[in-house]
Amino acid sequence: MYLLDTNVIIDYCNSKLPIQARVYIEKLEPAISFITVIELFAGIGISKEEKTILEKFVELSLVYDKIGSDIIDTTIKIRIKSKAKLPDCIIAATAIVHNLVLLTRNVDDFKNIEGLHVINPHIL
């Protein structure tokens, strides 16, 4: 299974992914972190059309919205070791704890996180 990062969802919904990545993602049951939901809808200047498209995508997704001690502990370890941004640490911890591969365009944001498998869908 895969966890989709915010940028992948935005690129998918805006048709900015290469066709092979779109086809690949359309075969998945999308899974996302609650952090991704926040990032998707907290953006300034989001149009009604964009909001509707994103709402439909989220409705079809499995949202990991529970943050138990396993994700908290993993987030803390990642933050201390990698110095990544806290939202990225939570997303990475969610992927690690649930044994998911993270799909993200921002591979560099996650490159120093031990135990995390990352794929950039733009280069599938």
Q: What's the CA gap between 106 and 89, in Å, rounded?
A: 13
Residue 67's Cβ-side half-sphere holds a number of Cα atoms within 13 Å equal to: 15
Q: What's the CA gap between 79 and 119, in Å, rounded?
A: 21
- Topology of domain 2-123, CATH: Rossmann fold (3.40.50)
State the DSSP H helix or E strand holding residue 59, giving kind and residue range, or none if neither: helix 48-59
pTM of the entire predicted model: 0.93
**pLDDT per position as a tens digit, 32-90:** 999 999 999 997 788 899 999 999 999 999 999 999 999 999 999 999 999 899 999 99
Q: What's the CA gap between 116 and 74, in Å, rounded?
A: 11
Tokens found for residue 22: 């779109």
Contact 50, 21 (CB under 8 A): no
Q: Where are the domains of the chain?
A: 2-123
Q: What's the CA gap between 70 and 59, in Å, rounded?
A: 26
Helix (H) and strand (E) counts in the chain: 6, 5
**pLDDT per position as a tens digit, 10-28:** 999 989 999 999 999 999 9
